Structure 1
Amino acid sequence: MSTPHTFYGWLGHDASSATGNLKWEPYTPIPPTPHTVDIKISHCGICGSDIHTLRSGWGATHYPICVGHEIIGHITALGSSVTRFKIGERVGVGAQSGSCLSPDCEECASGLENHCPKIVGTYNGKLEDGSVTMGGYADYIRVPAHFAVKIPEALPSADAAPMLCGGITVYAPLVHNGAGPGTRVGIVGLGGLGHLGVLFAKALGCSSITAISRSGSKRKDAFAMGADIYIATAEEDGWAKAHSRTLDLIVSTVSGPDMPLEEYLRLLRTGGQFIQVGVPEDKLPGFNAFGLIQKGCKIGGSQIGSPKEIEEMLVVAAKKKVVPWIQKRPMREANQAVVDMEAGRARYRYVLVNDDHSRL
């Protein structure tokens, strides 16, 4: 295998790119180093983060930009210092492609690279040489080998792709906050993230799983995924009172600034935890402090996971046969897939497929 000097990808040049205005164009990837690998992309999941970035929703984007950070492919080139992988091996890349990796960094030294103050995103990250990282709506990607992960043989590429960001985003807060047998877990939002939350809560053996969504339209799907209880907040009067003090842990995947946070806190038992993973472009709503104080509850947040933790999650997914609900879309249809994603049509994650690369 070999890698071309110029990569091609779907580039966004301004905020209008989020409305289906991406252009398939050549671009120069980050410079190769002894520590990088080149990957021929076969699959790339579409994440809500992609759309936020395309429209500069979380701050100024470095245009032109190629988004996509749920990447699966095969290695075509290895830096001289890379010994962990071999040419042709199937690997994945999630939302992070860099950190300082210094032994003096408290986070990196303790395996928390995803919390490093110098974290570099797989796309829209600026390196010290001034180059900007580009993502997976493309034919190839170049990344530091440290942030590539091994894919278990039992996991199909299309299923593994959405786990690399969406999966770890919900898996990490579940594991870090005690989800397992005897734990009653609630998942707020049943979209791309939330449905993975239900699937992994089931895989971890939680005693009860409550799916929480605005409408009842996804009730049947939620039960098929493994949920035991379903709450439609916009259709059920008094839902917060009816389900008060029933949950040990809530993982919130929604990103709307108007979510009923105070009502969600009512669902927690004494000592319960509310963990936010969805990131609104605005702010979270306010709430009455007594919602925390009276029951000794806690509010926290979680951000993806380290490469080691992603690999651990993939092993769990393979062992427990976690199968995301996905719809495959040809890479050439990326523009329409982005539009459909923003319109809420995905059930429940779109995965772009490079037809000519996926047969490797």
Structure 2
Amino acid sequence: MASTDYKFEGWLGHDPSSVKGNMKWGEFEPKKWDEDDVDIKISHCGVCGSDTHTLSSGWGPTPYPCCVGHEIVGKAVRVGKNVKSVKVGDRVGVGAQADSCGTCADCKNGNEPHCFNGVNTYGSLYKAPKERKSMGGYATYNRTPSRFVVKIPDGLDSASAAPMLCGGITVYSPLKANGAGPGKRVGIVGVGGLGHFAVLFAKALGADEVVGISRKKTKEPEVLNLGADRYIATDDDKDWDKNNARSLDLIICTASSAKMPMDGYLKLLAVGGTLIQVGAPDGGELPPINAFTLIFGGIKVGGSAIGTPREIEEMLKLAEEKKIHPWIEKRSMKEANQTILDLEAGKPRYRYVLCNEE
């Protein structure tokens, strides 16, 4: 298929009001084609909290117009001459990162998500000679350098695979890196779009115990149904931090409120335990941490970004092998504006996936 056979069209945010259901459908130019690229006819795109932060300029000024969406699945329809990993017709996906410099120490060490010159799948500018803005997956087509395009295993349906490409990998990567598996007791703070994936993957990795931690008791049945062994409701369970003190080895925190009870979370960790923050609030503000809680508990606090293409492939294979099915609701791509409003209202259980009609 020649490049002139299809148009790149999608939902474009033109200013911060776009997050209020005001995206406009329109044509856009992708990055300049080179022979390392893959063009993807998009069938599915997951809806991520990052999309709303970007549409609203919550994480900093957005280069409007912007087409968001970085949980992209579809069919490769054009493949550059230099590409060996993908062929036309393959079912492929793209996550939150579209490019990196490939030459810095982090890229050479397999830490591409930490590259200072990394390109996000949307809202970034490709460096010359590629140039142009990166545009995401609320669209008909996507163009991405092949290093960041992964094949989708046959045993995973596209709608389930899409939200794994950001939501899934954001928690899978720190779970794997911090030893979630046999012998580990793992807590998940915030069981929503990210947190529900963390419960699923912690169980799949073989953790001895997985504990869901959220504010309200009303969510307990859902979290246990996901596979969690226990549940802690920080608003409703009296003395929850004292009654569960030193009961966990690892906590993945997907919450992002400056008012969350961080010191209480840390007290849940056994001596030498680790809390990894993945939730990213507007402005980056988190609650203060008490130094004595860290010192007396020998506790470590860290952060984690997304994951590399290699980690994404590993995660997808695990999901296929363990038959992991995220809780998703499919929506028509035509309903993108309403879907953003519903996401902002906290309605999804637990991820929306936009589907192109074809």
Q: Tell me if structure 2 keeps the 8 A contact 1:6–1:29.
A: no
CA displacement, residues 148-181 of structure 1 (integer Å, 9 cap, x when unaligned) = 0011100000000010000000000000001001
In the alignment, is residue 351 of structure 1 matched against residue 350 of structure 2?
Answer: no
In the alignment, is residue 316 of structure 1 matched against residue 315 of structure 2?
Answer: no
Q: How does 1:116-127 map to 2 (within 5 A)?
A: 116-127=115-126
User: How many Å separate the matches in 2 of 1:216 and 1:140?
Assistant: 42
Q: Tell me if structure 1 keeps the 8 A contact 2:7–2:140.
A: no
Structure 1: state its 5+ residue gaps.
none
Q: Tell me if structure 1 keeps the 8 A contact 2:39–2:78.
A: yes
Partner of residue 245, structure 2: 244
Partner of residue 188, structure 2: 187
Q: 1:294 aligns with which of 279, 284, 296?
A: 296
Q: Tell me if structure 2 keeps the 8 A contact 1:5–1:28.
A: no
- Deviating 4+ runs (over 3 angstroms): 1-6
Give 1:208 deviation, angstroms. 0.4
User: How many Å separate the matches in 2 of 1:334 and 1:133?
Assistant: 19
User: How many Å separate the matches in 2 of 1:336 and 1:217?
Assistant: 26
Aligned to 1:141, the other structure's residue is in SS state strand
Q: How does 1:206-225 map to 2 (within 5 A)?
A: 206-225=207-226
User: How many Å separate the matches in 2 of 1:14 and 1:217?
Assistant: 36
User: How many Å separate the matches in 1 of 2:170 and 2:74?
Assistant: 21
Partner of residue 166, structure 2: 165
User: How many Å separate the matches in 1 of 2:259 and 2:21?
Assistant: 27
Q: Tell me if structure 1 keeps the 8 A contact 2:48–2:167.
A: yes
| Code of the aligned partner of 1:11 | L
User: How many Å separate the matches in 1 of 2:287 and 2:67?
Assistant: 32
Partner of residue 91, structure 1: 92
User: How many Å separate the matches in 1 of 2:297 and 2:241?
Assistant: 15
| Code of the aligned partner of 2:247 | T
Q: How does 1:6-21 map to 2 (within 5 A)?
A: 6-21=7-22
TM-score (normalised: structure 2): 0.97
Partner of residue 179, structure 2: 178
CA displacement, residues 120-155 of structure 1 (integer Å, 9 cap, x when unaligned) = 100001112441100000000000000000111000
User: How many Å separate the matches in 1 of 2:31 and 2:222?
Assistant: 42
| Code of the aligned partner of 1:127 | Y
In the alignment, is residue 134 of structure 1 matched against residue 132 of structure 2?
Answer: no
User: How many Å separate the matches in 2 of 1:211 and 1:223?
Assistant: 8
Aligned to 2:302, the other structure's residue is in SS state strand
| Code of the aligned partner of 1:188 | V
Give 1:2 deviation, angstroms. 4.5
Aligned to 1:319, the other structure's residue is in SS state helix
| Code of the aligned partner of 2:328 | I
| Code of the aligned partner of 1:17 | S
| Code of the aligned partner of 2:74 | G
Identity among equivalent positions (%) equals 56
Q: How does 1:32-51 map to 2 (within 5 A)?
A: 32-51=33-52
Partner of residue 107, structure 2: 108
Aligned to 2:336, the other structure's residue is in SS state helix
Aligned to 2:288, the other structure's residue is in SS state coil
Q: Tell me if structure 1 keeps the 8 A contact 2:93–2:152.
A: yes
| Code of the aligned partner of 1:120 | V
Q: Tell me if structure 1 keeps the 8 A contact 2:7–2:141.
A: no
Partner of residue 266, structure 1: 267
Q: Tell me if structure 1 keeps the 8 A contact 2:184–2:209.
A: yes
Partner of residue 233, structure 2: 232
User: How many Å separate the matches in 2 of 1:228 and 1:152?
Assistant: 29
Partner of residue 144, structure 2: 143
Please say which of residues 182-191 and 278-287 is displaced more in the overlay.
278-287
Give 1:217 deviation, angstroms. 2.0
Aligned to 1:234, the other structure's residue is in SS state coil
Give 1:338 deviation, angstroms. 0.5
CA RMSD of aligned residues (A): 0.9
User: How many Å separate the matches in 1 of 2:218 and 2:352?
Assistant: 19
Aligned to 2:217, the other structure's residue is in SS state coil
Give 1:6 deviation, angstroms. 3.4
Aligned to 1:218, the other structure's residue is in SS state helix
Give 1:5 deviation, angstroms. 5.7
Partner of residue 329, structure 2: 327
Q: Tell me if structure 1 keeps the 8 A contact 2:203–2:227.
A: yes
User: How many Å separate the matches in 1 of 2:142 and 2:48?
Assistant: 17
Give 1:221 deviation, angstroms. 1.0
